[in-house]
A and B are shown apart, each in its own frame.
Chain A
Amino acid sequence: MASTIRVRATSSGETTEVQALIQHPMDSGFVKDVKGETIPPHFIQELTFEYDGKSVFVADWGAAVSKDPYVKFSFKGGKKGDDLKISWVDNKGATDTTTAKIQ
């Protein structure tokens, strides 16, 4: 299965800028479908970025994060060609993990 996570990590020498786009419905639990039935909440709760065995960024998300969430941050260090590991877990216990090469 294709990964739900798309990442672009670019090193500028001193810092690495990371942009991630994840496919996820991020249902808040407040929206009704066409039949008038409430769509149950389904959203990513934790998103972790690891580099060199250490977390460089951890996001705790609520249902107010937009569908197909996007996040951008940067960290010091990170060499071109090195791996960045990204993983998420949602409120139903589903997870996905991917590894991206720093460019």
Chain B
Amino acid sequence: MTTTHDGYLATRRLILKGAVTVALVGLGNIPFSLVPTFAAANDKYPEDAFKAKSDADAIKSLYGKTAEPSDKVKLDAPEIAENGAVVPISVSTTLADVTSIALLVSENPNALAASYKIPTGTMPSVANRLKMAKTSNVIAIVEAGGKLYSAAKEVKVTVGGCGG
């Protein structure tokens, strides 16, 4: 009887030990699998973020956190874009300690359009031209002091920029 009892306890102990090991290995793995996808943290081209379909997924992949809307982020885009292949868009901000600026077009096949690294000494302002498949929200993300701030504006597109 006792042996069976011991055997049961030993098994139980083994299972518990196993569970602890799994938990530790699991915890250890999380930072390793997430870190390389944070573009802001390293210089690598953020391939996964550019492949993400939705704006939310792209922001999560690029920064690993969410943005809060801020009136300190100024997004300049036309109300109506006659040609979706060339839509002039610019972003500037009065926020301090800006480290990066990203631009997303929600309705494009891949939402993330451009991500700019702003080293110390460079103005937190950028202008460029983007393609828009159809009428969509354009989102500007500004990373300042480790936090994310956003601004959005709807741009109406009369002729799409993706061969439409």
Residues of A that sit less than 8 Å from B by CB: 15, 26, 28, 30-32, 45-46, 54-67, 69-77
> Quick check: is B126 within 8 A (CB to CB) of the other chain?
yes
Per the bound structure, the CA–CA distance linking A45 and B123 in Å amounts to: 22
Residues of B that sit less than 8 Å from A by CB: 39, 43, 45-46, 50, 85-87, 90, 105, 108-110, 112-119, 121-123, 125-133, 161-163
Chain B residues with CB under 8 A of A56? 119, 121-122
Contact of A71 among B87, B113, B118, B128 (CB under 8 A): B128
Per the bound structure, the CA–CA distance linking A74 and B122 in Å amounts to: 6
Per the bound structure, the CA–CA distance linking A26 and B161 in Å amounts to: 12
> 21 A-B pairs, CB-CB below 8 angstroms?
A15-B123, A26-B131, A28-B131, A30-B133, A54-B119, A55-B117, A57-B119, A57-B122, A58-B43, A60-B39, A60-B46, A60-B115, A61-B113, A64-B112, A64-B131, A65-B131, A71-B127, A72-B128, A73-B123, A73-B127, A76-B123
Per the bound structure, the CA–CA distance linking A50 and B87 in Å amounts to: 27
Chain B residues with CB under 8 A of A59? 114-117, 128
The prevalent SS among residues of A at the interface is strand
Chain A residues with CB under 8 A of B39? 60
Contact of A30 among B109, B112, B119 (CB under 8 A): B109
Q: Which 5 A-B pairs have the closest CB atoms?
A: A64-B113, A31-B163, A58-B117, A66-B129, A72-B127
Task: Find out whether the CB atom of B125 lies under 8 angstroms from the CB atom of A74.
Answer: yes
In the complex, what residue of chain B is closest to A59 when comparing beta carbons? B116
Per the bound structure, the CA–CA distance linking A75 and B98 in Å amounts to: 13
Contact of B122 among A31, A62, A76 (CB under 8 A): A76
Task: Find out whether the CB atom of B116 lies under 8 angstroms from the CB atom of A64.
Answer: no
Chain A residues with CB under 8 A of B87? 66
Contact of A65 among B90, B109, B129 (CB under 8 A): B129
